[in-house]
C-alpha cells in the first residue's frame, strides 16, 4: 500500500505544479488586459492581439487548474439529497459518479488528443498555432482522470472496510 501512496502524492504534486504554472499566467494576462483597456480608453489605441493572447492564457489557466481543483474539492457540489443517505449508499453513489466522470473525462482526453494532433489552424491576428492549446485539453483530461482514479480507489477502500 505504501507504493500507492507514493504514486498518489506524486500525481497530486504534479497537479499542484501544473496549477501553479496556470496561476502565474494570470499576472501577465492581467497586465496585458489592463494595458489594452488603458490604451483603448485613453488613446484609442488597443494592443494588437491582446484579446487573442488573453483568451489563450485563460484557456491554459483553466485547463491546468482543473485537476488541482478536483483534488482540493474546490468544485461546486450539491449534496442536499446525498447527505441524507446512509454512508454505505453514499459511498456506492460516489463510486458510480466517479466511474461515470472517469468515462466522460477519458473520452474528452482521448478526443482532445485526436483533435490536437490534427489541428493546423492558427489564430487570426497573431497567427499563433492552436494545436498546443488543443493538446492541453488531453493533458488536463489525463491528470483529471488520474485524480479521479485516486478518488475511486479511496471510495472503494472505504466501501471494502464497511
**pLDDT at site 1:** 60
Can you give the pLDDT of all 162 residues of the chain as single tens digits?
A: 688 899 999 999 999 999 999 999 899 999 999 999 999 999 999 999 999 999 999 999 999 999 999 999 998 888 888 889 999 999 999 999 999 999 999 999 999 999 999 999 999 899 999 999 999 999 999 999 999 999 999 999 999 987
| Distance between start and end Cα atoms, the chain | 18
**pLDDT at site 77:** 83
123 three-class SS: coil
Calculate the alpha carbon distances from 58 to 81, 118, 133 in Å. 34, 22, 11
Q: How far apart are CA 145 and CA 139, in angstroms?
A: 10
User: Structurally, how many domains does the chain consist of?
Assistant: 1
And the C-alpha cell for 155? Answer: 471510495
Structural domain of 95: 2-161
Amino acid at each position: 500500500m505504501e507504493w500507492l501512496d507514493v504514486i498518489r502524492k506524486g500525481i497530486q504534486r504534479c497537479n499542484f505544479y501544473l496549477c501553479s504554472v496556470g496561476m502565474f499566467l494570470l499576472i501577465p494576462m492581467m497586465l496585458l488586459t489592463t494595458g489594452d483597456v488603458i490604451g483603448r480608453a485613453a488613446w484609442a489605441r488597443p494592443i494588437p492581439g491582446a484579446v487573442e493572447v488573453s483568451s489563450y492564457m485563460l484557456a491554459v489557466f483553466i485547463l491546468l487548474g482543473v485537476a488541482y481543483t478536483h483534488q482540493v474539492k474546490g468544485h461546486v457540489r450539491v449534496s442536499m439529497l446525498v447527505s441524507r443517505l446512509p454512508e454505505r449508499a453514499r459511498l456506492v453513489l460516489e463510486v458510480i459518479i466517479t466511474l461515470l466522470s472517469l468515462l466522460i473525462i477519458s473520452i474528452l482526453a482521448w478526443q482532445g488528443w485526436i483533435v490536437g494532433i490534427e489541428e493546423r489552424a492558427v489564430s487570426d491576428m497573431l497567427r499563433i498555432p492552436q494545436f498546443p492549446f488543443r493538446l492541453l485539453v488531453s493533458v488536463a483530461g489525463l491528470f483529471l482522470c488520474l485524480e479521479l482514479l485516486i478518488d475511486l480507489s479511496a471510495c472503494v477502500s472505504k466501501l471494502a472496510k464497511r
